Amino acid sequence: MPKRIGIEVSIAIAEAVKLCDVDIICAYPITPQTHIVEHLSELVANGELDAEFIPVESEHSAMSVAVGASATGARVYTATSAQGLFLMHEVLFIASGMRLPIVMTVANRALSAPISIWNDHSDIMAERDIAWIQTFAINGQEVYDLTFHAFRVAEDKNVQLPVIVNLDGFTLTHVIEPIELVDQEAVEKYLPPREPILTLHPDHPITMGPVGVPEIYTEARRQIEVALMQSYDTIVKAWEEFGQIFGRQYHPIETYRTEDAELIFVTMGSFTENAMMAVDELRDKGERVGLIYIRLWRPFPHKDFHQAIGEAKTLVVLDRAITYGVNSGPVYSEIRSSLYDKPKKPYIQGFVAGLGGRDVPVESFIEMAEIAKKARRAKFSQYIHFDVKED
């Protein structure tokens, strides 16, 4: 029988990385991801994980080490958050541009200024266009499972792209949850050893990441876009195989009580479970309400999303980041763009909430639903910064 225990989510992530038999861990501590790499350093120091743990002087160096190590054929892991992710920004494009299957956990955190160590999605939403595959977890079990999936997809010969697994900082990273652990034998069945296509080796010299003159640069970037979009099939297949081996099923878009829903919440991350409770309360009152949560953020699963909304008349989209200067949020903008050409589409009401760790309780989702219903009846489209104190 599978072993189910209470464990801090960050520790569980580190244990998953150990089971993936990584070769290189390059890390710089930044709250709230530090417990992940701290535990990995302990596993290496204790001899439980045969890997090189490389402490570096910054996150820029961490990703630079990851790029170099992955280019030699190593299985590479790192983790970061917030300003650390931004310090990596320059190198993130190199990782995807060189088609290096690095796996990184991002413990999502608000950005400065003012300084905030608490959770929202501002950090990762500013990195939407780095050409990495990106998934979101709503609880500890999911982020544990998505870690195995990340390595399986990244290293697939038809993908060869880096992967980010997102989880909410503190809200998930520092809490103890019941998690069903897996054993090494099952992981080895799911995740084969890495077989790199091209590597840096002194006996067989090659060039990686050379100057891209105007005559070839457009085509090089286009190839990355094609590879990212085509990774969808492998991502889905890898989730199907995960379900066959481990018994837990995952999909790019997940639904909750949407079968006859007229109003659907759209969420990402841990507040999804609050939204589920709001759906249950509203259903108990006879309202036809459901929930969609986005697990696969890049590549965005347009077809799955369109099918999931069904005949819904209203979408209530929660953003935990602001797209500054356009009175919008990134998820709201994505969904409006995705549905733009559809002849029959629902009214879309966007909310920005939960910034900097502010709670979005069940009652707030119920209030958002009421606001959205009134706005739809009035045929008045607006984007709302929810729960903002008066000036």
> Rounded to two decimals, what is the model's pTM?
0.97
| pLDDT at residue 161 greater than cutoff 70 | yes
Strand partners for 289: 263
Rounded average pLDDT over 352-360 = 97
Question: Does position 240 have pLDDT exceeding 70, yes or no?
Answer: yes
Contact 78, 52 (CB under 8 A): no
pLDDT at 379: 78
Domain boundaries, the chain: 3-246, 253-385
Residue 22: what residue type? V
* CATH code, 3-246: 3.40.50.970
CB 310 within 8 A of CB 344: no
Q: What is residue 139's predicted lDDT score, i.e. its pLDDT?
A: 98
- CA dist., res. 259 & res. 307, Å (int): 11
pLDDT tens digits along 272-283: 999 999 999 999
- Looking at domain 253-385, which of 3.40.50.920, 3.40.50.300, 3.90.1170.50, 3.40.50.620 is its CATH number? 3.40.50.920
Q: 289-294 and 253-256: which strand pairing?
A: antiparallel
Is the model's pLDDT at 2 over the cut of 90?
A: no
Strands (E), 30-102: 52-55, 76-80
Helix (H) or strand (E) holding 185: helix 184-190
pLDDT above 80 for 205: yes
> Which residue in the block uniquely carries the two structure tokens 């900097």?
356
Give the tokens for residue 43.
């596993």
pLDDT at res. 378 = 85
State how far the Cα of 189 lies from the Cα of 186, in Å rounded to an integer. Answer: 5
Is the backbone peptide bond immediately before 312 cis, with ω within 30 degrees of 0? no
> How far is Cα 17 from Cα 241, in angstroms, rounded to an integer?
19
**Residue 391: band (very low, low, confident or very high) from pLDDT cuts 50, 70, 90:** low
Average pLDDT score over residue span 74-98: 98
* Res 239: pLDDT: 98
- Per-residue pLDDT band for 291 (boundaries 50, 70, 90) equals very high
The number of residues in the chain equals 391
Q: What is d(CA 277, CA 190) in angstroms, rounded to the nearest whole number? A: 34
Q: How confident is the model at residue 380 (pLDDT cuts 50, 70, 90)?
A: confident
Three-state SS at 83: helix
d(CA 251, CA 355): 27
Mean predicted confidence (pLDDT) in 72-78: 98
Under a CB-based contact definition with an 8 Å cutoff, are residues 298 and 128 in contact? Answer: yes
Please give the mean pLDDT across all residues of the chain: 96
Q: So what's the pLDDT on residue 1?
A: 64
**Residue with token string 């006879």:** 286
pLDDT value for 103: 99
Query: What's the mean pLDDT in 239-252?
Result: 98
- Single out the residue of 74, 88, 79 nearest to residue 55, CA to CA: 79
